[in-house]
Structures are given as structure tokens and as C-alpha cells.
Amino acid sequence: MQTLTQTLTKQAVPDSLSQLILRLADCSKDISQAVRHGALAGVLGATEQENVQGETQKKLDVITNDMLKDALKAEGNVRGLASEEEDYVVEVNKQGEFLVCFDPLDGSSNIDINSLVGTIFSILPAQDGELTEASFLQNGRQQLTAGYVLYGPSTMMALTTGQGTQLYTLNPDTNEFLLTDEAVNISKDTAEFAINMSNQRFWEAPMQTYISELLLGNIGPREKSFNMRWIAAMVGDVHRVLCRGGIFMYPTDNKNPEKPYKLRLMYEANPMALLVEQAGGKASTGYGDILDIAPEEIHQRVAVILGSANEVDACLSYHGLDYSNEPDIA
């Protein structure tokens, strides 16, 4: 099997970008060890702090955020970073050519129950001039690399450099990421959906109708039975979509009118959308492509609908969007 290094070389990824990807991969190996030690290392439980979104930070949120910051500060080609756990962007190296956005431990509510968690990251080109929050506000199609590392029964990485989406598995014997799927291809059709049904009463009418008709199964207008899956960690639910198809949704809701969206654009929605599109799927807010959004601020939230192309189109048709006549470019 090819190593991550060998695959990046084969793809002719520039050396400076490859070096940064490998630095992130090495840090994820250390995070994997921290996660696996769990209660043995005293890293479970919450802190008394909140992040910028008002969410109580878990101990591992803080630990993994610091691990990634230290790794990126040691990398000479990083201009700045932005994290879910940082109020503001952090300058790293004035001469750096890349910006890195990351969620250090997605699904942290799963930590204390020993369920799936992961690290999500996005690499953008650095801009000339002073580093500010505006330097990061590039749409998702500007991403040079997007990926995540899933800490499960095995540690796996999904990665794209714009040449399809690849899956790697960490070999515990050699501590190397090995290529285990060189061209992920999401099936266009599916009978699986992932959504937090406890929020159903808060959704917009189009999503209410769409899910209601899925639940009717083969006696409803879709004339097909669907199964629901929900891990409560975006990284786990999207991984399932990459592996066997499906549709993942965290739609607009009115539970808190001041926060109608859950997922963060820059370090959750954008990297996942690029991974899914590069694997032949689609990613939308319900009203437009995620990757085309012009960001307004670093912690901006958006609605997310992504996965199997035909099922995403079916969902969007309930929102008044019709992609059924678009040419198939996959």
C-alpha cells in the first residue's frame, strides 16, 4: 500500500503543501493516542470555560487545540490559523504561505461515552498584507486541501487536494497512514439519511415535508423505505456517507432565532463539502452550494445538506430548487 507521503508525491502536490499536510497527519497521530488513553490520562470531562460559540469546552477540546497550534507554529509555512476553540485568528509566521482552519475535536459531546470523534481541517492560500480575520474569508472553492481524521476502531483520514477524495488508515504497527481507498465514489442514490430528529418541530416547512415523506417509506410518495442513522458527530456521519452513500443534514431551524444554524462554515461545512464534491456527491445549504458562500466572519454558521447527489437533489426540490435537468458531470 502507498503511504500518505507517496500518494502526495504521485499527485505532484507542491512540497510546501505536502509538508503541511504531513505535519497535520503527524499531529493527528498524537491526538489519536490522547483520545485512546481517555480516562487513564485524566482527559475526560468538561472544563469551566466556554468557547466563542458559548459551548462548554471539554478537556480534550482544549488539549487537542493546543496540540494543533503547537504543531502549526513549528511549521514555517503557516501564516495563520483559525480554530473553533479560538475567539480570534492566530498569527503564526509572517512569511507563511498557508492559512489553516480546524475543528480540533468534532463531536466532543461523544468523548465521555467513548464514541466517535475526529479532527476536521481546511488549508487556504495566505493573502498578501497584514493578517486579519478578513484574510481567511475565502469561499470554499479556494481550499487547497480539506480533510478529517476519524478516531474510531481504527484511525482513518479522508483527504482531498482537488484530485478526488482518498481514504487512509493508520497502521498501528508502523504509525504510517496507508492509502486504503484511492478514489472514493459516493453512490448517487441512497436509502439512508442522517438528521437530528429531536429538532424536527423547529425545521422549515420544506425540510419538515421532505423528512415526513422519507418516513412514510414505500407507502409514501417516494415509494422507497429509508433507514435513519445519527452519530451526533459530523465527522462520523460524513464518513459513513463517503463509505456507503447517504444524505446528512443539519438544516435551518428556529429553536434559537439568533442561531438558526449549527455547523461552522470555515472549519466544518467547507472542508466536508469539498470532500463530498470530490467524491461525486453534492453539498448545499438548501438554497445554494456551500462552497460558493462568501464568508462574512470566521465563526459563521450555515445549514448543511450533503451526500448522494440524486438524494440531495431530491431534498433541494422541496426547497424550490430543481437540478434534475443538469448535465451529469461526475
Per residue in 229-242, pLDDT tens? 999 999 999 999 99
Indicate the SS3 state at residue 276: helix
Neighbours of 112 (CB within 10 A): 15
Per the annotation, does 70 bind a ligand?
A: no
4-181 and 192-318 share one CATH topology? no
The annotation status of 268 as a binding-site residue, yes or no, is yes
Rounded distance, CA 294 to CA 305, Å? 18
What pLDDT was estimated at residue 41?
Answer: 59
Q: What is the pLDDT of residues 93-110, one digit of tens each?
A: 999 999 999 999 998 778
Alpha helix segments (H runs only) across 108-219 = 205-215
Q: What is the pLDDT of residue 39?
A: 72
255 neighbors 277 (Cβ within 8 angstroms): no
106 is in an annotated binding site: yes
Domain positions in the chain are: 4-181, 192-318
81 is in an annotated binding site: no
Distance CA 305, CA 234 (A): 12
Q: Is residue 109 part of an annotated ligand binding site? A: yes
Contacting residues for 259 by C-beta, under 8 A, at least 6 apart: 301
**What pLDDT does residue 327 have?**
34
Sequence-distant (6+) residues with CB within 8 A of 207 are 249, 251, 252, 286, 315, 318, 319
**Residue 196, annotated as binding a ligand:** yes
Q: Is 182 exposed, middle or buried (0-12, 13-18, 19+ CB in 10 A)?
A: middle
The response to whether 105 counts as a known ligand-binding position is yes
Please tell me whether 84 is known to bind a ligand: yes
Extract long-range pairs of 52-58: CB within 8 Å, 24+ residues apart. Answer: 52/84, 52/86, 52/87, 52/299, 53/84, 53/264, 53/299, 57/85, 57/108, 58/105, 58/108, 58/109, 58/111, 58/112
Cβ burial of 323 (10 Å; 0-12, 13-18, 19+) is: middle
Q: Is 55 annotated as a binding residue?
A: no
Contact, 46 vs 59, CB < 8 A? yes
Task: Using 70 as the pLDDT threshold, list the residues of the chain that sit under it.
Answer: 40-58, 321-330
Residues contacting 113, CB < 8 A, separation 6+ = none
Query: What is the CATH topology of the domain spanning 4-181?
Result: Fructose-1,6-Bisphosphatase; Chain A, domain 1 (3.30.540)
Pick the CATH number of 192-318 from 3.40.190.80, 3.40.710.10, 2.40.50.140, 3.40.190.10: 3.40.190.80
Q: What is the structure's pLDDT at 328? A: 36
